[in-house]
Amino acid sequence: MFNFSTVDQELADAVSNAFHDAYPDQLPDTISFSVVKTGDARHGDYQCNDAMGLAKVLRMAPRQIAEAVVESLERHPSIASVEVAGPGFLNFRLDSSWLSERLLQVEAEGHGGVPHVGDGRTVIIDYSSPNVAKPMHIGHIRSTVIGNALDRLHRRLGYRVIADNHLGDWGTQFGLILMGYRNFLNEEALEASPVEELERVYVKSASRSKEDESWLEAARNELVKLQQGDEENRKLWRMFVELSLKEFNKIYSRLDVRFDLERGESYYNDALPGVLERLDSAGLLVESEGAQVVDLEEEKLGVCIVRKRDGGFNYATTDLATVFSRTDEFSPETILYVTDERQQRHFKQFFTVVEKLGVKVDLRHVWFGLMRLPDATFSTRDGNVIKLEALLDEAETRARAMVDASSPEMPEEQKQDVARAVGMGAIKYADLSQNPQSLVTFTWEKAMALDGNSAPYLQYAHARIRSVLDKHAVQFPDDDVMEHPFAVAEPLERLLMLKLIQFPESVIAATRNYRPNLLADYLFDLAQTYSTYHQSIPFLKAEDGIRESRMRLIRQVAGVLREGLNLLGIETPDRI
């Protein structure tokens, strides 16, 4: 296991020690120091802004405060020089031989040197979670793609991850679906596209129920029968679940997404009465207009309904039962719920109830904004539901056209593989490269841009390095790159090394902030730096010794691109 910390952490520790040495007994106990990457390389590699915050405590000018730690910081093995700038910034330049030493360790360790900061910790990630008998929509793809990236990131950091697909497979809609199925079913359509047909009969049944009171009554009866275990209704319900899962699984396999658990809402059905008992004995249950609720007025969250007037349980009741079951069985430190922003209130409410019950677990709603798909996104579009499959198909078709143009000589099978990797990568990256909480407008131009911040651009950068390495192996079969140090002859080489050792920081930041886009930004930056290097520095024509060093360096760049994209669920074919 990797036992050294990230560079920013190591520097922050050094700064902390230096300040404590310079100002013994004068610093507040609660103080912590942090160091960040500089935005502008002219100011050094990292900077610390904490001297400014100390002016009041120490009653000194910030520049003067900072000056006092320069000398001791410069003795730190990782630091070449420290400069006090502006009102009192500390700017650090890392030592080049320390950089290459560090990169050697990273290379030996593999996986880009990401430390196992999550060892011994369990996180449950509740993501994707589509509803049975309804096609997955664009919100579910975002949950699937973002949730899966968080899943991969946590695993890489050593967490024990339990990925749970909390399917919406229970609830009031099933009464209507049963009625629709029995009265409006088109067998052929069910055969051809089961989930679409189930949704169609549901929609028809739902609209009938709005005009026809007796229809609604009948649907309620069917639901009660289902809940009481009526054999016929159970059988149909199981079939709806199976048909839906079959279709969802096609999408999961295209997106290379796997779950550890697929416990739908129905899994918790028997535990629902117990939730009410537990709330009751904690004195939290009150009656309101015939329903059973938990009063959250004090928290300005209204009331959380746990049992409706008609006796039925609610979405929140199931989520409470789910937390109890998960904490009992897995003792997680954290549970993440990945859904769109419209569910914020629901999660705030039920998190508050869990807290009131004194259950110790860190619950987080990782919400994302909506994604806009302009009308022009699809060449064919039937109805107004945007189906996920259509989006994935279109991505592969467009990627295939790209591959046909760039590598006409590639064997057919390989072309298909590459088109799939590029198409799925483009869809995922378009999502993951944005701040999840902003409104995203999807366009194919952006998603597929070979010259912009896109998966194809990054995949291409990776493939380009692979091809240089292959050429090198052919032209210089006797070169052994491992016998040479990493190259630091050129400023760009130093910059590449610096960026390479910053990979773990970006993985940790993306994970801790639940923002995979922080990793995407890093990878794009690395790929751009490589691209400049590629254009301005000779590789295969470089002299003996230098050539091997450069190969070793770019091999490490390819490795980090591959590792990083993999954490986003994106493949890196060797050729594009």
Partnered with residue 211 across adjacent β-strands are none
Residue numbers of the site for ligand ARG (CB under 6 A)? 126, 129-131, 166, 168, 319, 322, 337, 339
Instruction: Please report the sign of the dihedral spanned by the C-alpha atoms of residue 542, residue 546, residue 547, residue 551.
Output: negative
168 secondary structure, DSSP code:
B
Q: How many residues does the chain have?
A: 576
Whichever of 244 and 433 has its CB closer to ligand ARG, that residue is 244
The torsion angle over the Cα atoms of residues 42, 44, 47 and 53, rounded to 10 degrees, is: -60
Q: How far is the CB of 388 from ligand ARG (least distance, A)?
A: 13
Q: How far apart are CA 473 and CA 459, in angstroms?
A: 21
Three-class DSSP category at 576: coil
Minimum CB separation of residue 134 from ligand ARG in Å reads 8
Kindly state the smallest distance separating residue 163's Cβ from ligand ARG, in Å. 12
Element of type H or E holding 19: helix 7-22
Neighbours of 449 (CB within 10 A): 16
91 bridge partner residues: 47, 83
CB of 15 to ligand ARG, least distance (A): 42
The distance of closest approach from Cβ of residue 335 to ligand ARG in the complex, given in angstroms and rounded to an integer, is 9
Minimal distance in Å, beta carbon 484 to ligand ARG? 52
Closest to ligand ARG by CB, 199 vs 396, is: 199
List CB contacts of 450: < 8 A, sequence separation 6 or more. 402, 456, 457, 460
Question: Closer to ligand ARG at the Cβ: 147 or 573?
Answer: 147
Choice between 146 and 422, CB closer to ligand ARG: 146
Closer residue to ligand ARG in complex, CB, 316/565: 316
**Rounded distance, CA 140 to CA 131, Å?**
9
Contact at 8 Å (CB) between 349 and 377? no
Q: How far is the CB of 126 from ligand ARG (least distance, A)?
A: 5
CA distance 519 to 510: 6
In this complex, which beta carbon is closest to ligand ARG, that of residue 166 or of residue 415? 166
Closest CA relative to residue 90, chosen from 138, 137, 53, 131: 53
Residue 129 or residue 434: which is nearer to ligand ARG going by CB?
129
When the beta carbons of 125 and 279 are compared against ligand ARG, the nearer one is 125
Residue with tokens 């899966």: 148
Contacts of 362 by beta carbon, 8 Å cutoff, 6+ apart: 333, 334, 335
Work out how close the CB of 181 gets to ligand ARG at its nearest, in angstroms, rounded to a whole number. 21
CB of 437 to ligand ARG, least distance (A): 17
By C-beta, is 140 or 494 nearer to ligand ARG?
140
Least distance CB 180 / ligand ARG (angstroms) = 19
* DSSP code for 59: T
Give the residue nearest to ligand ARG (CB): 168
DSSP for residue 261: B
- Long-range (24+ apart) CB contacts under 8 A made by 280-288 are 282/356, 282/357, 282/358, 284/353, 284/356, 284/357
Nearer to ligand ARG by C-beta: 63 or 346?
A: 346
Nearer Cβ to ligand ARG, position 106 or 132?
132
Question: Which two structure tokens, joined as six digits, stand for 301?
Answer: 């969250």
CA distance 76 to 80: 8
Query: Looking at beta carbons only, is 166 or 550 nearer to ligand ARG?
Result: 166
Question: Nearest approach, Cβ of 165 to ligand ARG (angstroms)?
Answer: 9
Percentage helix, strand, coil for the chain under 3-state DSSP, each rounded to 5: 60, 10, 30
Per the listing, tokens 């067998």 go with 187
Tokens of 218: 């009948």
The C-alpha atoms of residue 435 and residue 428 are separated, in whole angstroms, by 13
Nearest approach, Cβ of 167 to ligand ARG (angstroms)? 7
